[in-house]
Amino acid sequence: MTEKLVIIGNGMAPGRMLEHLFEQAPGRYAVTIFNAEPRVNYDRIMLSPVLSGEKSYEEIVIHGDRWYVDNAVTLYKGHRIIAIDPVAKTVTSDHGVTEGYDRLVIATGSVPFIIPVPGNNLPGVLTYRDLDDVHAMLLAAQSRAKAVVIGGGLLGLEAAAGLNARGMDVTVLHVMPTLMERQLDPAAGYLLQKAVEERGIKVITKANTQAIIGDPRVEGVALADGSVVPASLVVMAVGIRPNAALARDAGLAVNRGIVVDDAMRTSDPDILAIGECAEVGGQVYGLVAPLYEMARVAASRLAGDDTAAFVHADTPTKLKVTGIDLFSLGDFADGDDRQEIVLRDASAGVYKRLVLKDNRIIGTVLYGETADGAWFNDLKKKQTDISEMRDTLIFGQAYQGGAPLDPMAAVAALPDDAEICGCNGVCKGKITGAIAGKGLTSLDDVRAHTKASASCGSCTGLVEQLMVLTLGDSYNPAAVQPMCSCTSLGHDDVRRLIKAKGLKTIPAVMQELEWKTSCGCAKCRPALNYYLVCDWPDEYADDYQSRFVNERVHANIQKDGTYSVVPRMWGGMTSARELRAIADVVDKFAIPAVKVTGGQRIDMLGIRKEDLPAVWADLGAAGFVSGHAYAKGLRTVKTCVGSDWCRFGTQDSTGLGIRIEKFMWGSWTPAKVKMAVSGCPRNCAEATCKDVGVICVDSGFEIHFAGAAGLDIKGTEVLGLVRTEDEALEVIVALTQMYREQARYHERIYKWAKRVGIAEIKRQTLDDRERRRGYFDRFVFSQRFAQVDPWSERVSGKDKHEFKPMATVGYAAAAE
């Protein structure tokens, strides 16, 4: 019989618990979740990249709405549980919903500690725990004013870096002499402070906050030495406390947190507790690795495994601030019963310290160079006797056993049980076994099947090295290949840093990212121009001198130096008036060749460069706009006649094709994009070899993508079936926007899809309605600033296929 499982809280721990439970005991429980936040499950440890601008909320969602539907989970969003009745076995929310349970899991997380000083409740004083806090900080950051972060630990420094990246003048106040004193020794704390200050963030240590001042809102922070630090925003990040009040009120045993045994059971055997609210073995935890271990144990117990038990393990600390490499693990305090090995390289900003006891590692601090963290962690976990390699130990794994190894050989030498992903407890053998056994070829595939690199991402480099070792030359991630000789950064790093640092001009990018040349080259300038157009559509002015000549003159250069011009014909449809206008232009300019293209348009070839402005002027007077047959953008939407004329047509394919093309034209993309809509499965428009294609069927619209019919021949992947034309348009626009935001310049959709993963694209653009709508809205926003031809006024929406008109901004005429 199906049992009722109720979960209070929808954070990372209960989400992971349900993943394990559905694998081990599918159908055993009818699951109901009450979530105090009005949203789905997301990766809280990635809030810092959202604050800094390196990621969006949609990118850190773990389980979208579709996941709950597919797994028959009832999710109450924005429902805070106010009472647990262990006798009646019910819970009640603040909205008056009462739900009975057979088994209950409490995962209420933690609450931020608020310093008990005057003014701590003034408007402008925030904490840093959830997405609402991030949204509040982002609103405050728009002022570009002064911010104070109280607390120099992990969260405080990540908050400071994020606000700094958003343009605020940030000061960190820390009561202790060095930053992150619980995770770092003073030497590493000094290097960390130096790196933070080099980013323009002020740091004041030994800062004892006496009061937060201001009227009617915060104006500054008063310190014990009498000084005042001005601020319009104060973020408290001084620690967390288990959120155990609900359990205490229900009569459960509570100490610092909700007391549980190693099976995650509370004092009531039908109630479990996991996550930051739980206290197991006298300890409470805030890092994700032990929380996921709690989730694994709870799931196994709920599935009927009476042997699963929680075992404490030290978890490495890593700071999620771009450009700061830090690794800390174990006990590194001074003591008479221990020794230390230290390596300092001042010029390189490297500091390494190993703390030993009885010839075994008990603590590790690495700053500036952390590649050996996994190896040191493995030696500590296994309590390996290091006496025979003591003289070379500090230099890392590559220097053991004779001649130095290259980094790849060092990773290869790691044992199969060496932990690679600390967040999720994934060892080397599980990763390489999944790659080989399941035929995994992309980083996202590995993340999906093993969870390695799926949380904080700090182990991504190691995981990619394992993929290279396992797959050989067939895996060569372009992300680590430089864009060009002007920089050592790859496309992915450049895109990430443009957002993170708020870089909005090509000179700013080149200066801040330390370009090796003064003005870039023909490879990097067009890529940078595209990334800036895509990321800052409302602020960046498209630099046409950074575009290829074909895009600048709206024509395609031919081998004899002349040009071809292709005016746009919406969905391949035309009229006698348009045909006469084309014929007149051909006669007037003595154009030697006219050809019908594969995209159902007319191409005029052999036009002299000096005639291009006049040719476009005449075409524009006849109502034509650029067909972008030469551009990295939407080129054409090929259609068949569909249900209007064809006896086999199931839907109005021509109308949908015109609607898609008019909605999306003028939007730049990383590479050319071709689309097609076929009115029935006979596929006369050849939709199954296009970047995006639609096959109309009786029940709706089957959306395809990632096809190719050029140098590579590839059939499309099926994204899914939607019922209405409106939904088809929304999905196609969201898919295109996801591609625009994530692809590397010159990367076609089919190559991007292979890298990102078909399942991931489907999840984000079809299954997750909230994320899909986010992509759609961002596309619409960018179209408001789309820079298109001055004669290309959009149609006013008089026919049934037209969309709501959007504002346009003209750009320079076709002549260079």
Q: List the CATH number of the domain containing 754.
A: 3.30.413.10
* Residue 534 marked as a ligand binder: no
Q: Show Cβ contacts of residue 520 under 8 Å, excluding neighbours closer than 6 positions.
A: 484, 486, 506, 510, 528
776: amino acid identity, one letter: F
* Residue 680 marked as a ligand binder: yes
Residue 801 has pLDDT above 90, yes or no: no
Across the strands, what pairs with 744?
none
Same domain, 658 and 775: yes
CA-closest candidate to residue 182, choices 157, 147, 162, 207: 157
Residue 428 has pLDDT above 80, yes or no: yes
- 87 phi and psi angles, rounded to 5 deg: -75, -50
Per the domain annotation, does 98 fall within a domain?
yes
Render 363-406 in DSSP notation, one character per residue. EEEEES--TTHHHHHHHHHHT---GGGTTTGGG-GGGTTSSPPP
580: amino acid identity, one letter: R
Per the domain annotation, does 442 fall within a domain?
no
Same domain, 610 and 664: no
Average pLDDT over residues 111-128: 93
pLDDT the model gives residue 513: 87
Kindly state the tokens that stand for 728. 């088809």
Give the three-state DSSP class for 151: coil
pLDDT the model gives residue 35: 96
Distances (CA, A) of 301 to 72, 231, 276, 307, 310: 21, 50, 19, 8, 11
Q: Which residue has the tokens 């709501």?
A: 804
For residue 804, what pLDDT band results from cuts at 50, 70 and 90? very low
Same domain, 647 and 757: yes
Comparison of pLDDT for 332 and 219, the residue scoring more: 219
CA distance 262 to 271: 14
Same domain, 714 and 689: yes
247: amino acid identity, one letter: A
For residue 786, what pLDDT band results from cuts at 50, 70 and 90? low
For residue 97, what pLDDT band results from cuts at 50, 70 and 90? very high
Share of the chain above pLDDT 70, in %: 93
The whole-angstrom distance between residue 677's C-alpha and the CA centroid of its chain comes to: 31
Average pLDDT of the chain, as a whole number = 87
Same domain, 668 and 759: yes
Domain encompassing residue 520: 480-547
Kindly state the tokens that stand for 674. 């071709």
pLDDT tens-place string over residues 190-236: 889 998 998 899 999 999 999 999 999 999 999 999 999 999 999 99
CA-closest candidate to residue 800, choices 584, 600, 652: 652
* Residue 484 marked as a ligand binder: no
Give the relative orientation of helices 576-588 and 612-621 as an angle to the nearest 10 degrees: 160
Average pLDDT over residues 369-377: 85
CB-CB contact of 661 with 653 (8 Å): no
Which of 357-366, 445-454, 713-722 shows the lowest per-residue confidence on average (mean pLDDT)? Answer: 445-454
Residue 577 has pLDDT above 50, yes or no: yes
Per the domain annotation, does 229 fall within a domain?
yes
Same domain, 666 and 775: yes
C-beta neighbour count of 388 within 10 angstroms: 11
For residue 405, what pLDDT band results from cuts at 50, 70 and 90? low
- Own/partner long-range contacts of 307-312 (Cβ < 8 Å, ≥24 apart): 308/263, 309/262, 309/263, 310/262, 310/263, 310/264, 310/280, 310/281, 311/262, 312/281, 312/283
pLDDT the model gives residue 681: 92
CA-closest candidate to residue 657, choices 671, 670, 644: 644
Residue 588 has pLDDT above 50, yes or no: yes
C-beta neighbour count of 346 within 10 angstroms: 8
CB-CB contact of 554 with 814 (8 Å): yes
Per the domain annotation, does 734 fall within a domain?
yes
CA distance 669 to 671: 5
Residue 587 has pLDDT above 90, yes or no: yes
Per the domain annotation, does 631 fall within a domain?
no
Same domain, 145 and 73: no
Among candidate residues 621, 655, 682, the one where a domain is terminated: 621
Among candidate residues 264, 282, 302, the one where a domain is terminated: 302
CB-based burial of residue 17 (10 Å sphere; 0-12 exposed, 13-18 middle, 19+ buried)?
buried
CA distance 616 to 564: 12
Per the domain annotation, does 364 fall within a domain?
no
First to last CA, the chain: 75
pLDDT tens-place string over residues 282-314: 999 988 889 999 999 999 999 999 999 999 888
CA-closest candidate to residue 536, choices 487, 503, 493: 503
**Strand segments (E) across 175-236:** 202-205, 209-213, 220-223, 228-230, 233-236
Comparison of pLDDT for 422 and 298, the residue scoring more: 298
Give the three-state DSSP class for 720: strand
pLDDT the model gives residue 407: 59
CA distance 338 to 332: 9
Same domain, 725 and 738: yes
For residue 815, what pLDDT band results from cuts at 50, 70 and 90? very low
**For residue 304, how many C-alpha atoms fall within 13 Å in the half-sphere facing its CB?**
8
Same domain, 522 and 664: no
Same domain, 159 and 191: yes
Residue 133 has pLDDT above 70, yes or no: yes
Same domain, 770 and 740: yes
pLDDT the model gives residue 793: 34
Among candidate residues 524, 547, 570, the one where a domain is terminated: 547
- 372 phi and psi angles, rounded to 5 deg: -90, 5
pLDDT the model gives residue 799: 34
- 282 phi and psi angles, rounded to 5 deg: 80, 5
Residue 795 has pLDDT above 70, yes or no: no
Q: Where are the alpha helices (DSSP H) in 25-74?
A: 47-52, 57-60, 65-70
Q: List the CATH number of the domain containing 33.
A: 3.50.50.60
* Residue 684 marked as a ligand binder: yes
CA distance 43 to 39: 12
CB-CB contact of 53 with 147 (8 Å): no
pLDDT tens-place string over residues 591-629: 999 999 888 999 999 999 899 989 988 998 888 888 888
Domains contained in the chain, number: 5
Per the domain annotation, does 471 fall within a domain?
no
CB-CB contact of 733 with 705 (8 Å): no
Sign of CA dihedral 315, 317, 320, 325: negative
CA distance 654 to 814: 30
CA distance 302 to 765: 33
CB-CB contact of 5 with 107 (8 Å): no
Distances (CA, A) of 727 to 154, 360, 660, 765: 43, 61, 12, 11
CB-CB contact of 128 with 238 (8 Å): no
Kindly state the tokens that stand for 133. 């806090």
CA distance 453 to 426: 9
Per the domain annotation, does 533 fall within a domain?
yes
Share of the chain above pLDDT 90, in %: 50
Same domain, 558 and 541: no
In whole angstroms, how large is the CA radius of gyration of the chain? 30
For residue 460, what pLDDT band results from cuts at 50, 70 and 90? confident
Residue 59 has pLDDT above 90, yes or no: no
